[in-house]
Structures are given as structure tokens and as C-alpha cells.
Amino acid sequence: MAFSDILSGLKAALAERHFFNADEAKLLAERDRLAKARICIDDVVAKALEGTRTRASDAIARMLAHHLNEASMAATTPDSIASEKISFDLLALTDDKPHAANASDPKGTPAIFPTGTTPHSGMLTYLLLPVIEQTVEKLVRDSLTDACRGGMRLSDWRKRSAEIDAKLEAIRKQRGELAKGLREAALQVINAPEAVEQGPSAADVAEAAGVYAAGEGIINIGSST
């Protein structure tokens, strides 16, 4: 490759880098704008309801796994159910798994009922879920509708964020390839003046001698024939 071609390639690459950086800066600015975007009130309501439903489902799952099941019923004696001194409260769900019922007291609390005394918010939520859902949605909408006015749907937000990330990845990959090409071109330029000034090396002379010895090249130097 001619030296002038190398220089032209370097100049073109530097110019192309400018366009890459300009495009990346625009994408980064848009990503920052998306990070501060208002959210649609419908998505805020959905998030609140999701948390409420999770609280209810976790509680009933624990109640069924620890208490209201066949194994717990098998560990519960008639005496404990018949006892008027024992009261049971399904709302008083405890977080820990109970010990087997009647292990030390045949008339103790049945395994089918929790032994706590404080109402569990998850069980309350489960039993009153339809009413609580309506109340949660009304509370969120009454409180945040104005703050979310003109908000962006999360589905659109996710789509645009993914598009920006894909474009940024492509630009950075192209710029990396451009930098690699610049490094390769630079290696040809760095020592170019010194390389041009140098005469033939010993290896060059040896190669030429081999050509002559093989009957190739110019023969009978100085001969008039």
C-alpha cells in the first residue's frame, strides 16, 4: 500500500470516529432522558397491586404448607379440638414452621392452626383481597395521577431502552474495529522514514546472491554481449 494511501485511510478513520461519537452522545442523552421519564399511572397501579397480591399469595401458601394439610391434620388429636380452653386464630400466622403438634402435650394446639396471637397482614390481605385491591388502586390513582400525567407506558419504555442499548453496542463495536484498523495502519507509519532510508540488509544481499547462483538475474555484469 502506498504511503499516501495509508495517510488517506488514517484521515478518513478519524473523520468517521467523529460521527460515531456524535451518534453515541445522542443515544446517551436519550437514555438519560428515559431514566427520568414519567411513568404511566396504569403501570404504577399494576405495580402496587402486584405487591398486594404477592403478600396474599405468600401468606396462604405458608398457611397451606405449615398448617392446613393432611399431615398436620394427622398430628391433631380430638382432645385439642374439643378443648374449650384453646382458641384458634387463622389470622395469627407465624413465619416459622411449627413443631409437630402434641409432641409434648396431647391437648396442645393442633398443628392445623397457627399458634401466634398477632394478626398477620398477609392473611388479612388474602381474606380481604378484592376489597383491598380496589382500595389500593383508588389510593394510588387519587394520589399520583397528576404526578404521572403524560407518563410513558413501561412497555414502550422497555422497547426504546432496548433499542438504544442495541445501537450503542453496535456503535461501540464499529468504533473498536476502527481503532484496531488505525493501530494496524499506524504500525506501518511509525518507522516508515527510517525504513525508507535504510539500504539493503544482509538478508537482501544473500537472497540476491542465491538468485544469481541459480542462473537467474543479470549474468556477466559488464559484458558487452
Residue 102: per-residue pLDDT: 44
In a domain, 219, yes or no: no
In a domain, 140, yes or no: yes
Residue 202: per-residue pLDDT: 73
In a shared domain, residues 99 and 140: yes
Q: Which of 107, 135, 151 is the last residue of a domain?
A: 151
In a domain, 224, yes or no: no
Q: Which residue has the higher pLDDT, 85 or 66?
A: 66
The pLDDT tens digits for 81-115 are 887 776 778 888 877 665 554 445 555 556 677 77
In a shared domain, residues 147 and 171: no
Handedness of CA 213, 214, 215, 221 (dihedral sign): negative
In a domain, 225, yes or no: no
What's the Cα-to-Cα distance from 87 to each of 11, 77, 81, rounded to whole Å?
A: 87, 15, 9
Q: Which of 132, 151, 170 is the last residue of a domain?
A: 151
pLDDT band at residue 79 under the 50/70/90 scheme = confident
Distance CA 93, CA 182 (A): 68
The most confident of the ranges 4-13, 84-93, 149-158, 193-202 is 149-158
Start-to-end CA distance of the chain, whole Å, equals 38
In a domain, 221, yes or no: no
In a shared domain, residues 77 and 174: no
Beta bridge partners of 152: 39
Residue 109: per-residue pLDDT: 58
In a shared domain, residues 76 and 147: yes
Residue 176: per-residue pLDDT: 82
Distance CA 153, CA 40 (A): 5
In a shared domain, residues 96 and 140: yes
In a shared domain, residues 111 and 18: no
pLDDT band at residue 203 under the 50/70/90 scheme = confident
Q: Is the pTM of this model over 0.85?
A: no
Closest CA to 133 of 45, 62, 60, 57: 45
Q: Which of 134, 151, 168 is the last residue of a domain?
A: 151
Give the burial string for 116-131 (b: 16+ CB within 10 Å, else e).
Answer: eeeebebbbbbeebee
Residue 172: per-residue pLDDT: 85
In a shared domain, residues 209 and 186: yes
In a shared domain, residues 7 and 44: no
Number of structural domains (the chain) is 2
Domain residue limits at 6: 1-37+154-213
In a shared domain, residues 199 and 128: no
Closest CA to 45 of 194, 122, 148: 148
The pLDDT tens digits for 16-53 are 656 677 888 888 899 999 999 999 999 999 999 999 99
In a shared domain, residues 71 and 116: yes
- Residue 207 confidence (pLDDT) above 60: yes
In a shared domain, residues 122 and 58: yes
- Residue 13 confidence (pLDDT) above 80: no
Q: What proportion of the chain, given as a percentage, has pLDDT over 70?
A: 68
